[in-house]
Structure formats: structure tokens, C-alpha cells
Amino acid sequence: MTKKKPLAENQMLISILASVISIAVGLLFGFILLLILNPSKAGVGMSAMLTTGFGSLDKFGKVLYQAAPLMLCGLSVGFAFKTGLFNIGASGQYTMGAFFALIGAIVLHLPWWACLLLSCVGGGIWGIFPGLFKALFNVNEVITSIMFNWIGMFLVNLLLANTPIMLASAWGASNSDRTADLNVANPSAIIPKAGLDKLFGNSPWINISVFIAIAVAILMWFILQKTTFGYELKACGLNKEASRYAGINANRNIILSMIIAGALSGLGGGLYYLAGTIQYVLEKSVLGMGFDGIPVALLANSHPIGTIFSSLFISYIKVGGSAMQPNFSSETINIIIAVIIYLAAFALLMRGVIMKLLKKLAGKADKEVSA
Amino acid sequence: MTVLANIISLTVIFAVPLLLVALGGMYSEHSGVINLALEGIMVIGALCGCFLLRAFDQNGFGKAHPQVAMLLAILIAAAAGVAFSLLLAFAAINLKADQTIGGTALNIFAPAFAVVVTWAIQGQGQTTIQIPTWIKITQETFGFERTDGFFATLFFKYQYLTTPVAIILFIVAWLLMYKTKFGLRLRACGEHPQAADSVGINVYRMRYAGVMISGFLAGIGGLAYVIAVGSGFSSSVGGYGFLALAVMIFGNWKPFTILGSALIFALFKVIAAYNSSIPFLPKFEGLKDQSSLYQMLPYIVTMVVLVFTSKKSKAPKAEGIPYDKGSR
Amino acid sequence: MLHITKEFPGIKANDDITLQLKKGEIHALLGENGAGKSTLMSVLFGLYQAEQGEIRKNGKTVHIKDPNEANRLGIGMVHQHFKLVECFTVLDNIILGVEDTKRGFLQYDSARKKVMELSQKYGLRVDPDALISDISVGMQQRVEILKMLYRDNEILIFDEPTAVLTPQEIKELMAIMRGFKEEGKSILFITHKLQEIMAVADRCSVLRKGKYIGTVDIANTTREELSRMMVGREVAFDIQKKSPQVGDVVLSVKDLVVASKAHNNNAVKGVSFEVHAGEIVCISGIEGNGQTELVYGLTGLEPVKSGSITLCGKDITHASIRERSKDGMSHIPEDRHKYGLVLDYTLEQNMVLQRYWEPEFQNHGVIRSQAVRKYAQKLIDKFDVRSGQGPVTIARSMSGGNQQKAIIAREIDKNPQLLVAVQPTRGLDVGAIEYIHQQLIAERDAGRAVLLISLELDEVRSLSDRILVIYEGEIVGDFEKAEMEELGLYMAGAKRQGKEAAK
């Protein structure tokens, strides 16, 4: 048993420090890689990555726009983590959410908020499977999630191909490899900008989606922190045996938490594709946005409020990554993200090291407080 | 008949990467480490193999000795796979990290790394490494005239050196796993590491071996996938690593059933890619984009199989659990 | 002559223990749970390293760093929990680690021959091609024994070998052990069953609380003497308590059968008893005789195979854990880290673990954090639970005694009809033990039924109003007050009420 001084602030501090160190190591690794690849341009590339996001209002608008779906995917992964599940299926749920939202927008002609609700339903349906299979058949949720990522992608492709009205070609455009432009098909389904575009120098990206995402993050924080439901979910995740002892139905909680996680990812898909700026392209490989939810959640230590900041950070360097071209590929960002995830895989170890360092720094102040 | 030869030959060439990578997954899991990073390892293997082929193409060595060049590319792909898999082994075995999260990190790392390196070497925006055409095994490889018959199509239309290599590796993998003391000990580590430890087997070392063998096979599998697809390497192996994971589960962690399921999954892939030109398939009237349907099927079948077999699954019992010498 | 001397003073698990094993003898190692038997054997087998002391074989000092080294010295061990790979065949398990190969390939022929020879010679019937998962526990043990013989081990350690065997299998094992002795092999036999020692051992060394008590020749001793050595004569501090005011029946258990997870036999075999209001009933016995499963069955953590459980007149045999809790059952679990607490929750969150759903603590699903805080503070004050930051302390950072106090506070304050306390003082210091004992007696005096499951004889003796002795899943004795030695005999299965134990 550890007997370290467990100040709540201290725990928070350690989490934040661990994330900052992960980020720093990730960035350093990226920089070294750039130096090896092209020493003369490395400095320029790095500064492009780190400054573009604040460089112009337009870019900052894009940071906020991308942060919304990232935040929701991060919330989704983090929410599942809290219940002891690894939701690697955020991608499939995100795709399903996007599909449901677009059906609502283009086929059913619903307003934007109804489409967003539909996207939650779509993602939630896709979240049922990993939870249900785990609870009923004890199939590992990671395997189910991966399978359903692919099933989801192919299913959406199949359904879109067979619903001609969904495709851009039905609305006057020539291409049939993507969904209809919402500006043509149903402008009322586009998430309102509420005047933000004027504030952001007519940035085409900005709308209220980031505020919706933040509101959802606060809601998730409330559920996890303040409700009996959240209390039960966390108890299951932290100690399944003890939660059983307390009379909590673990299987029910596994399924419910995966449905909620799915709905969050689905909402992310809705927010991204209802902006009116991007059309869903029939994909050949699974969408990356769901996977980006993993570093967002890990950096935030699955804390909903922390997710707001970590998603903004990931979005920020992603926007910066695009600006690194043509000297370097924007994929450099994913290398940094991968390093961050890799470090998070042994987070406990790292936290232990940080804790020791903090103790050394604090020295005498940290007296043993156990009776 | 030619259609049949085409289908069989294509199925084989698409089954090769699935077989190799699934066997790799089998080795890793039998040692007790879940290798979710197969996809990433494939990408790294393919990247290195393709660059070597490109270099051989440019300096003329390839045209002069195509199959030697190909063999070297296979070896470099394998070596790269081993090196990359060490990252997983280190995290999973030494640091006792979460194996799924570690594997996910490597899966995100690999394609990004491949894109960045491809850019750096080939120049801006050149994201695809072209595969030279001389690597194909044709009748000319053996000094014969080219012909078009059934057997010619079967053996000399789509095949590469990776196919015979895969057959040899399959036999070796099976022998190693079931006929040698290494295999016996490896499986003991994945089933009951405490038992292995109590008879003096070094569990950490065996797990390293398991992960490295999976890297070896998945690295080759990555190259095999790229040349099977034939349109060059664009830093992706199209989810084949995950598909191989499904093949491994479907194959119940055993070599021969893995071979069978690799062929079945490959057949689905071939049907998905060429369904319009295969005459005897059911045609769904009015259904567009049937290939998506066929591509979806293997995953659905895997899920159904998982549901029915999970109660008596033959998955190694200790997989995914870090081994700690102290706890018994 | 074969001599092993093992001395290491200091750390509590084994405190300056010397053990000498002669060639060709069966040497029993006797002691209660936690006496240090297994630790000592693990040191000998190279699984642990001793801080002090040395091991000698044939007069020469040896250093056993790992099981390989032990094996090289001819020391083999049958572990209490078998170390067998379930999906391997018997033969594979035997050769694992010492495989024969020819040009890299496994060779089974000579191994099979040797195994069959050994099997015939010692009467160890096994099917070499059967899978471990398909064979009986008894045969699995024979495989473990063959593993040692296959390695030509001369010193054989048996760690509680009879715990999972049927009486017939035990008889066979005894015969096999005698056969080894005739062959000149030496056997270390860890057990706490007296009659087995009397039946098979030449000498017996006794450990108690990590200390070496003595070695006796079996020929010159009695069960009673061994029992006395094992249990000791130390008298615990006596607890002042009033005579019980026994009330109505609170818990009634009839013919309860609970399956075991460890083996195929039932762990609880038709147990019946009653607990009344205002009394402390103690279930006493040596670890692994079905206590854990009995508690799981009572509290709903494991399903009951047959029989019935009635709480205050209500049948709760198949009720959920939550329902049992509502009906007035409180449970202080054996493993406080696994079941009793969510260690990463704060103290206040843990204080309401069984009650968070009550209207007092939630309103339409929203936790009333003020009420929780107040309630936790109340319990902390009332039960003197000490922690760094009061209600917001993370449970993991608290000392074991205070964690246990928190659990007891939570379970007692529920006002239960029945309090099930499983080893409530395990691993705690004297002060905490005393406090917990007082609380249990206070509950009894308040008219509640208390069911105490304990391995500590001192605790059993000083707290209980009635003692039920459990042995191999059955209640073999029911006492108002009992002598320690008498209890020891029942616990070791040497005596039972009603019918005399089979010799």
C-alpha cells in the first residue's frame, strides 16, 4: 500500500504534469525527426506547427471547429475508460453518427438540432454492440469495436450508394463519391454560426459546435461526478468486485456506458459534417477522427473538463501540421500523437516517477499523514 | 476455367499477407502478449521493403537479379518488423504497460512515420512508392515462353516470391510451434506463465521471442500485401492487420485453421474487388456497391463466430496480462 | 545423509527457523495458517531469497536463486495450486522445461517410456496423452508428482497435498509417499491435518507465527501434543463481556451447498445452522475448508447450488446482493481491498458504498454531496477513523486499520439485523484489533446477530458465544465453550461430533 500524501490538488497536478511531459517528449521527438529528415527546414516546420493555430482568425476558427468532434470522441473514449472499457470503436460510432445526421438533414429535411439528436442515436446504436457482446458473451470489447469500425464504414458506404438522393450527384453536382452539399440540400440542417463567422474574419469553419461540445463535456463531468449513475459507473471501472459487493449491476452498466460513449462519438460525427463545409466522402479506410479521441482522452486522464483542453491542443497542432506542408507532411502530427499515446500506455509508471520527484522537491513539507 | 484460375490465384496472393500476419499474431498471443500493433508493423515492413525495391530498381540490380532483390526486400521487411515490434515488447513486457493502448500508439505511429519518410525521400507530395514490375514471377523467370493457359494463369499471372516464402514460413511456423521445445515453452508462457516459471523457463525472454517473431512475420506480410495490391505503397495496408487479427481469432489460434480462414477471408476480398466480373456470384438486383457488402461479410462472420465460440475459446489464457515474477 | 539447515532471523514470516531433513524420511511441517510454512518452502525452492541464514545440502552450503537451481540440487515441489498448463497433455506438462530434442524436434518416445516406468513403479496411474483439463484433480496431482520424479529429484516437497483430494485419493497418496521413502527419497510434507501426520510421517516440525516450536518423533507423540504445539498455550487478553441475551432466530441456513471454483467438488456440503439475535456465532476452521464459499453463498456473491437461506423469516436464497442488503444483512468482507473498498474513491464515497442510492443521499439520481459529507464526517467521528484529509481522503492512502474501521463503521451504521464479519482483524495491529472486537460485542449487546468467520483461535475463543467448527465443507462440531486443544482436533478433522472420524 502506498502511503503518499494524496492531496486532491496533488493528484490533479500530477495528471497535468504527466500530460505536459508527454506532450513535451512528443514534440521533442517530432522535432528530432524533422532535424534528421531535413535539417535546414526543421525550425521552420516546427514553428509552423506551433504558431499557425493562433496565426490568423481563420485558422483559429478551424482549430475550434475541429476541436468539437475531437472533444466528443475524447469524451467517448474517456467515458468508457472510466467504466474500465477501452472504446477503440469511436471511429465506427462517429461514422454512424455522421450518417444518421446526414440522413436527417438530406432525406428527412430536419433542422440541425434534430439531426444532431439523430447522430447521437446512430452512434449509440453502434455502441450497443461492444457493450452487449462483452456483457452477454464476454467477448473482448476491443475486438468487437475494431470489427464494428469496419462493418460500420462498409455499411455506410453501402447504404449511401443505394440512397441516390444522399449523394452530391442528386443535387446538381457531378461527383457521386460524396454526400450532398448541405448548402444546396438543406441549409436549415447547417449548424448556426450565430454571428461567430463575423467575429472570426469570415472564417468558413467556425460555428457554435465547439460550444455544444463544451456544454456536453460539462454535462459528462456532472454525470460522472455528481450523479449516482456516474458513481456506479466509476465504481465498476475502478473495482468491479467491490461494485458487485455494493449490489451494483455491472453488466447493465457496461452496456449503458458503451451506449453513452457511442452517442458521444456519434454526436462528434454530426457536428463535423453538419457544418456545411465538408461533405462525407465514401471512404476506403476507417476514419481517423475516432482514433484521435484516444490521445485526447489519455492526455486528459479521462477527465471531461480536461478533455476540453486536450482536444483544443490536438486540434491546434493538427491545424499547424497542415501548415508544415510542403516542407514536411502533415502526418508528422500523428507521429507526435503516437508518441504521446505510447507514453500514456505506461502512465502509472510515469505518475510514480513524477510523484517521487515532487516528493523530493517538497522535501520536509510532505510528512506522512497516516494514523 | 480461366476465371477459376484467376480467382484461385488471386485468392492465394491475397491470402499470403493474411496468413503471415495472422501467424505472427498467433505467436505473440501464444507467448501472452496481445499484439494489436500488427497493422503498424505491416506498414513499417512494407515501407522498408518497398524502399529497398525502389533502390534496386534505380541502380539496375533489380532488373539483373529480380528474385534475389525480392528476397533481400523480404528480409529487410522482416528485420524492420522485428525492430518495430521491440517497441511493443518493451512497453508490454518490461514496463508492464497496457498492451492495447501501446499497440494503438504503434498503429498510429507507423502510417504517419511512413508518410513523413516517403515525403522526405521522394520529395514533396510524392506519397506513393511505386513497385517495380520486374518482381513478378512469370514463366520467363524460369526461362520459358509466356502462355495463357489454365496453369499459366494459376501459377504465373499474379504470383510473387512472397507466395513460396509464405508456404515455407507456414510449415516452419507450424513445426516450430508444435514440434519443438521452443514452441512448447512459448505456449506454456501464454497459458500459465507461473507454471512455466516454476520449471525454470524465462517468461520475459519467451515473450520477447513471441513478439519478435510476430514482428518478423507481420513485416513480411506488409510487403506481401503491398505487392499483392499492386498499385504501389501509400503508407497504408488497408486494415489488413486488423483483418489478420480476425483471421487469427477465426482460426482459433491454430496454424491450419488460420490457413483455412486466411483463404476464406482472401476469397471475400477477391470477390469484393472483382464481384462484377465473376459470373457465378449471386447478383442482388438493384443493389449498388455490392463490393461493400462482400467486404463487410468477413467481419460480420467473425463476430458471429466469436459470439458462439467465446465460451470455449482457445485463446491463450494469460494473454494481455503482464507477467510479474513477484506475484504467484 | 542429507542435511538442510535454514536459519534466518529478522523478518516475521520465518523467524530463525531450523529444519533438518534426513535421507529417506517423511518429515511433516505443521502449523496454522500464516505460521510460515509456505514461505519457508518457497525459500527452499528458490522462489524467495532469505534475508539471513543458509541452506546446506549434504553438509555443503548451497545458494538457491531460482527453481532451476533447486531442480539441479534434486529438490522438487508439488505446489498447493498446481502449476499445470491445462491445454497441454500430461506428457507435455511433465517434460516442460527438460525436453529431449533430436535435431531440434521434440522427442517423446524416451520420455514416454520413462514416465510409464515411473508410473508403474510407484503406482501413479496417469494417461500420458490426456489433456490436463480433462482429468481429475487427483490425477493432476499425480502428474505433479511425476514431474518431480521425471527430474530425478531426491527431495520432494508436498505443499498441502491433501486439501483437494477425496479420502480414497488421500489413502493412495499416503501409500505412494511411503513408496518414495523406501526408495530412499526424502519428503517434506506440509499440512495441518494431524491424522495424516500420524499416519505417514516419521518426524514433525512445528511452526507457530513464524517461529520454530520444535521437532518431535511421531512414534513418541500424540495428536494432543501436536495440537498443543500448533495452537500454543498463549492466552489472549480477555475481553470483558456480558452473558448473551439470545433472542429470536435471525439467520437460518438449511442444507446449503455451494460449488467450488478451485476444484470440481462442492466447497460447502450441506451446511445447516442458525444464528440468533444477540449472539456471536463463530465459524472456526482452517483456511480452505469452505468458509469463503459459505460466506459468498450467504451474501450473494456466488450462487447457491441447493439448500435455503432465511433472513428474519424471509427466504433470500436467490435474492440479489442489493436485496439482501436491504433486508438487513451487513457484510464485512474477507478481502477489504478486493471487495470492501473502492480504493481510488474518497473515504466519503466509500462510506456510502452500500447506501448511495437511498433517498437520504440522492435526489432524482443526483448525489446530495452535502448529506454524504455530513454522514461521512459523522461516521468518522463516531468510529474514530483517522485519515489525512477527513472525508476527502483517498481510501488507498489510509492505513489498513483505518480502512477496516471505515468498512466496519459503514456496515454497522446500516443497522443490520445480521452482521457477517469475515476475518475482520486480519493483518491489523493490536490496538485496531481490540477496537474491532469491542465493536462486534457492542453490536451483539445491541441485540443484533453476528456471524464471525475467523481463522484466529484466540479471536474465536474470546469473542464467540457459540463455535461451529467447519471441516471440508461440513460443520463437524457445535460448542458453547471449548478448550483450545479440543478445537484443534476438530479443525484438523481428527474428531467430529456425532460420528467418530475415520482413521
Position C13 scores a pLDDT of: 66
C306 grid coordinates: 441447493
Q: How confident is the model at residue B328 (pLDDT cuts 50, 70, 90)?
A: very low
Position B220 scores a pLDDT of: 97
- Return the axis-axis angle of helices A209-226 and A304-323, rounded to nearest 10°: 150
CB atoms within 10 A of CB B44: 29
User: Dihedral (C-alpha) B233, B236, B238, B242: value to the nearest 10 degrees?
Assistant: 130
Distance, CA of C276 to CA of C444 (rounded, Å)? 10
Q: How confident is the model at residue C33 (pLDDT cuts 50, 70, 90)?
A: low
B211: pLDDT strictly greater than 80: yes
- Residue C27 placed within a domain: yes
Q: How confident is the model at residue A215 (pLDDT cuts 50, 70, 90)?
A: very high
- Residue B253 placed within a domain: no
- Return the axis-axis angle of helices A57-82 and A228-238, rounded to nearest 10°: 70
- Count of the separate structural domains present in chain B: 1
Q: How confident is the model at residue C484 (pLDDT cuts 50, 70, 90)?
A: low
A146 grid coordinates: 475494431
Q: Chains with 3 or more CB pairs closer than 8 angstroms to A?
A: B, C
Q: How far apart are the first and last CA of chain C?
A: 33
Q: Give, as one character, the DSSP assignment of residue C254.
A: E
* pTM tops 0.80, yes or no: yes
Which whole number is the average pLDDT over C332-337? 88
Of C362, C360, C453, C465, which Cα lies nearest the Cα of C414?
Answer: C360
As a whole-number percent, the residues of chain C with pLDDT over 90 amount to 29
For residues A247 and A319, state if they share a domain.
Answer: yes
The listed range with the strongest mean pLDDT (B208-222, C11-25, C368-382, C391-405) is: B208-222
For residues A258 and A193, state if they share a domain.
Answer: yes
For residues C150 and C208, state if they share a domain.
Answer: yes
For residues A97 and A121, state if they share a domain.
Answer: yes
A297: pLDDT strictly greater than 80: yes
Q: Who wins on pLDDT, B285 or B211?
A: B211
Q: Which residues of C lie inside 8 Å of B (Cβ-Cβ)?
A: 47, 66-68, 71, 77, 79, 83-88, 92-93, 95-99, 101, 104-106, 147
Taking all residues of chain B, what is their mean pLDDT, rounded to a whole number? 87
Helices and strands: H and E segment counts in chain C: 16, 22
Q: How confident is the model at residue C20 (pLDDT cuts 50, 70, 90)?
A: confident
Interface test with C, best of A228, A240, A243, A302 (most C CBs within 10 A): A228
Instruction: State how far residue A193 is from chain B, nearest Cα, in angstroms.
Output: 33
Chain C: residue nearest B314 by CA? C87
Q: Of A103-112, B52-61, C155-164, give the lowest mean pLDDT range.
A: C155-164
C97: pLDDT strictly greater than 80: yes
For residues C321 and C425, state if they share a domain.
Answer: yes
Interface test with C, best of A232, A301, A302, A370 (most C CBs within 10 A): A370
The domain in which residue B87 lies consists of 2-240
C69 grid coordinates: 537451481
Asked whether C205 and C27 are in contact (CB, 8 A), the reply is yes
Which whole number is the average pLDDT over B78-88? 96
Give whole-number Cα distances, A17 to A2, A349, C270, in Å. Answer: 20, 13, 57
The listed range with the strongest mean pLDDT (A259-268, C49-58, C90-99, C119-128) is: A259-268
For residues A356 and A286, state if they share a domain.
Answer: no
Distance, CA of B21 to CA of B42 (rounded, Å)? 8
Which whole number is the average pLDDT over B81-107? 91
- Residue A4 placed within a domain: no
For residues C274 and C314, state if they share a domain.
Answer: yes
Q: Chain centroid to CA C280: how far?
A: 22
For residues C146 and C183, state if they share a domain.
Answer: yes
- Residue A43 placed within a domain: no
C107: pLDDT strictly greater than 70: yes
Asked whether A201 and A57 are in contact (CB, 8 A), the reply is yes
- Residue C206 placed within a domain: yes
pLDDT digits (tens, 9 = 90+) for B251-270: 889 999 999 999 998 988 88
For residues C174 and C138, state if they share a domain.
Answer: yes
Q: Does B98 touch chain A (CB under 8 A)?
A: yes
- Residue B306 placed within a domain: no
Position C98 scores a pLDDT of: 87
Asked whether A297 and A74 are in contact (CB, 8 A), the reply is yes
pLDDT digits (tens, 9 = 90+) for A318-346: 998 888 877 788 888 899 999 988 988 77
Choose one of C231, C265, C292: the last residue of a domain.
C231
The domain in which residue C495 lies consists of 249-328+416-502
Determine whether the interchain pair C96/B175 forms a contact, defined as Cβ–Cβ distance below 8 Å. no
- Residue C290 placed within a domain: yes
C443: pLDDT strictly greater than 80: yes
Residues shown for chain C: 503
pLDDT digits (tens, 9 = 90+) for A125-172: 999 999 999 888 888 888 899 889 999 999 999 999 888 888 888 888
Q: Which member of C83, C99, C105 has the closest CB to residue B195? A: C83
Asked whether B8 and B75 are in contact (CB, 8 A), the reply is no
- Count of the separate structural domains present in chain A: 2
Position C341 scores a pLDDT of: 92
DSSP-based three-state secondary structure for C203: strand
Position C498 scores a pLDDT of: 60
Angle of CA points A219, A71, A11, to nearest 5°: 70
A266: pLDDT strictly greater than 80: yes
For residues C288 and C433, state if they share a domain.
Answer: yes
Asked whether A151 and B295 are in contact (CB, 8 A), the reply is no
- Residue A335 placed within a domain: yes
For residues C40 and C157, state if they share a domain.
Answer: yes
- Return the axis-axis angle of helices B240-250 and B203-229, rounded to nearest 10°: 120
Q: Which member of C342, C367, C399 has the closest CB to residue A238? A: C342
B215: pLDDT strictly greater than 90: yes
For residues C166 and C279, state if they share a domain.
Answer: no
Q: How confident is the model at residue C96 (pLDDT cuts 50, 70, 90)?
A: very high
Q: What CATH number corresponds to the domain at position C315? A: 3.40.50.300
Give whole-number Cα distances, B288 to A83, A148, A159, A281, in Å. Answer: 40, 22, 9, 16
The listed range with the strongest mean pLDDT (A59-68, B70-79, C289-298) is: B70-79
For residues A285 and A299, state if they share a domain.
Answer: yes
Position C256 scores a pLDDT of: 92
- Residue C360 placed within a domain: no
- Residue A107 placed within a domain: yes
C183: pLDDT strictly greater than 90: no
Position A109 scores a pLDDT of: 92
Q: Which residues 237-296 in chain B show a CB within 8 A of chain A?
A: 238-239, 242-243, 245-246, 249, 287-289, 292-293, 295-296
The domain in which residue A29 lies consists of 10-38+330-371
As a whole-number percent, the residues of chain C with pLDDT over 70 amount to 90
**Cis peptide bond upstream of B279, omega within 30:** no
For residues A322 and A335, state if they share a domain.
Answer: no
CB atoms within 10 A of CB C255: 11
Residue type, B324: D
Position C233 scores a pLDDT of: 55
Distance, CA of B328 to CA of B193 (rounded, Å)? 10
C40: pLDDT strictly greater than 50: yes
Residues with Cβ within 8 Å of residue C500, at least 6 apart in sequence: none
Determine whether the interchain pair A243/C402 forms a contact, defined as Cβ–Cβ distance below 8 Å. no
Q: What CATH number corresponds to the domain at position A68? A: 1.10.3470
Asked whether A178 and A280 are in contact (CB, 8 A), the reply is yes
Q: Does B105 touch chain A (CB under 8 A)?
A: yes
C488: pLDDT strictly greater than 70: yes
Choose one of A327, A344, A361: the last residue of a domain.
A327
Asked whether A258 and A80 are in contact (CB, 8 A), the reply is yes
Give whole-number Cα distances, C47 to B211, C20, C79, C159, in Å. Answer: 27, 20, 12, 14
For residues A318 and A351, state if they share a domain.
Answer: no
Determine whether the interchain pair A133/B303 forms a contact, defined as Cβ–Cβ distance below 8 Å. yes
Which whole number is the average pLDDT over C328-351? 90
- Residue C454 placed within a domain: yes
For residues A177 and A284, state if they share a domain.
Answer: yes
For residues A351 and A319, state if they share a domain.
Answer: no
Rg (CA), chain B: 20
For residues A109 and A171, state if they share a domain.
Answer: yes
Q: Who wins on pLDDT, C33 or A80?
A: A80
For residues C222 and C254, state if they share a domain.
Answer: no
Position B313 scores a pLDDT of: 66
Per-position b or e across A126-136, b if 16+ CB within 10 A of its CB = bbebbbbbbbe
For residues C200 and C271, state if they share a domain.
Answer: no
Determine whether the interchain pair C342/A8 forms a contact, defined as Cβ–Cβ distance below 8 Å. no
Choose one of C162, C197, C231: the last residue of a domain.
C231
Position A369 scores a pLDDT of: 41
Q: Of A159-173, A308-322, A356-370, C328-342, give the lowest mean pLDDT range.
A: A356-370
For residues C273 and C225, state if they share a domain.
Answer: no
B2: pLDDT strictly greater than 80: no
Helix %, strand %, coil % of chain B (to 5) = 75, 0, 25
Which helix H or strand E contains C208, and what residues bound it?
strand C203-208
pLDDT digits (tens, 9 = 90+) for B160-187: 899 999 999 999 999 999 999 999 999 9
Instruction: State how far residue C124 is from chain A, nearest Cα, in angstroms.
Output: 39
For residues A22 and A84, state if they share a domain.
Answer: no
Distance, CA of C126 to CA of C122 (rounded, Å)? 11
User: ipTM score here?
Assistant: 0.85
C157 grid coordinates: 516437497
Q: Which residues 259-298 in chain A show a CB within 8 A of chain B?
A: 284-286, 291, 294, 298
pLDDT digits (tens, 9 = 90+) for B188-210: 999 999 899 888 899 999 999 99
Which whole number is the average pLDDT over A87-94? 93
Angle of CA points C15, C16, C17, to nearest 5°: 100
C12: pLDDT strictly greater than 90: no
- Residue C261 placed within a domain: yes
C231: pLDDT strictly greater than 80: no
Which whole number is the average pLDDT over C445-449? 91
Residue type, B146: R
Interface test with A, best of B38, B101, B121, B296 (most A CBs within 10 A): B101
Residues shown for chain B: 328
Position A362 scores a pLDDT of: 67
- Residue B245 placed within a domain: no
For residues A211 and A360, state if they share a domain.
Answer: no
Determine whether the interchain pair C345/A238 forms a contact, defined as Cβ–Cβ distance below 8 Å. yes
Which whole number is the average pLDDT over C341-365? 91
Position A355 scores a pLDDT of: 76
Q: Chain centroid to CA A288: how far?
A: 10
Give whole-number Cα distances, C484 to C231, C376, C454, in Å. Answer: 7, 40, 14
Choose one of C198, C231, C264: the last residue of a domain.
C231
Which whole number is the average pLDDT over A204-220? 92
B37: pLDDT strictly greater than 90: yes
Q: Does A245 touch chain C (CB under 8 A)?
A: yes
- Residue B316 placed within a domain: no
Determine whether the interchain pair B180/C105 forms a contact, defined as Cβ–Cβ distance below 8 Å. yes
- Count of the separate structural domains present in chain C: 2
C2: pLDDT strictly greater than 90: no
For residues C38 and C171, state if they share a domain.
Answer: yes
Give whole-number Cα distances, C325 to A232, B144, C300, C301, C364, in Å. Answer: 17, 83, 10, 12, 21
- Residue B147 placed within a domain: yes
C5: pLDDT strictly greater than 70: no
